[in-house]
Amino acid sequence: MSTLSNRQRFNQIQPPQKLYEKLERLGFGSLRPTKRYAWKNKKIAPVTTTTTAKAAAFQNYEPKEPEYKFPLLSFFAGAKTPASFPPEDLGEIAVVGRSNVGKSSLLNTLAGTTIVRVSDKPGLTQQMNFFTVGKLFYMVDMPGYGFALVDDEERQQWRQLMEDYISNRKTLKRVYMVIDARHGLKVADLDFLRMLDRKKVKFQIVMTKSDIPVLPQLARRIITVQDGLKGFRNAIQDVLVVSSKTGAGINQMRKEILFLMGHLKSKEFYK
Ligand SMILES: Nc1nc2c(ncn2[C@@H]2O[C@H](COP(=O)(O)OP(=O)(O)O)[C@@H](O)[C@H]2O)c(=O)[nH]1
Ligand SMILES: [Mg+2]
């Protein structure tokens, strides 16, 4: 029988080297070069002239990702009932998550704007907000769930609206569930994910505020979140890791969304 607390178990997770390498590529910094992480000390290949040395250097060289940008974000419609959803004329992604996890900030950072309302007060997104990204696709900012200050009846109504939307929206390509990198998947999140699974809607987890935990804690959190997704059929197993504050991971998320919406050729995507 294990006598370890959850916290102790969490701290015992040893994230693999390739996860740290991925986080470094995304812009989350790197581990301090201590003995324990000696493998982190490998040097960048020196500039060389002979062909074989050049080839060797090239193997260690990672081409810089192009910078992906979204076209102009504009507010298109706010909806409190299904009757006010805009027509299903473009592909669409929706962002869900608990209140205050950073959904609106994420949409702003993705689009390079400040037009989505961000707040320190939870529960302010009281309707579904549809934004157009140029004429390419819609992004939908959903009301936060698990918000304690609204009464049960109101919460039930929001839940119903979101379920209606998720069940019936033909152009919805993917739901991004935003979670806080410090906390991982909470009961309210799992509950929502089960609903998405029942409705057969593909979803992906986005861990935001990933600038806050120190790197080993962030890496451990990613591992526990991925473990938590194992039972879900409609989960994209890969977790997106981002910070709206520093911009780390944002380029990768833009790239994946543009690809999903059909605006990147697969050749560009898999480069
Ligand atoms: N450090 C940090 N803070 C963030 C990040 N994203 C959002 N926040 C803050 O978290 C709070 C809630 O953000 P908001 O986008 O309104 O959350 P929403 O309720 O899910 O839409 C605000 O005070 C944001 O400034 C992030 O990536 N890093
Ligand atoms: Mg919001």
Among all bound ligands, the one having the nearest atom to the CA of 143 is: 2
> Which residue lies with its CA nearest to atom 4 of ligand 1?
209
pLDDT of residue 31: 85
| Any domain includes 6 | no
For residue 166, report the distance from its CA to the centre of ligand 1, in Å. 24
pLDDT > 70? residue 41? no
What whole-number percentage of the chain has pLDDT above 70? 82
pLDDT of residue 155: 78
pLDDT of residue 77: 92
- State the average pLDDT over residues 123-151: 81
The letter for the amino acid at 181 is: A
| Any domain includes 258 | yes
Ligand 1 neighbours by CB, cut-off 6 Å: 97, 99-105, 118-120, 125, 144, 208-209, 211-212, 243-245
Which pLDDT tens digit goes with each residue over 167-182?
999 999 999 999 999 9
State which residues form the domain around 222. Answer: 73-269
| Any domain includes 54 | no
Q: Which residue has the tokens 């934004």?
A: 131
| Any domain includes 223 | yes
Which pLDDT tens digit goes with each residue over 44-96?
555 555 666 656 555 656 667 899 999 999 999 999 999 999 999 999 999 99
CATH assignment of the domain containing 250: 3.40.50.300
Among all bound ligands, the one having the nearest atom to the CA of 125 is: 2
CA distances from 72 to 87, 96, 138, 196, 247 (A): 20, 22, 11, 29, 18
> Which residue lies with its CA nearest to atom 10 of ligand 1?
102
How many structural domains is the chain composed of? 1
| Any domain includes 262 | yes
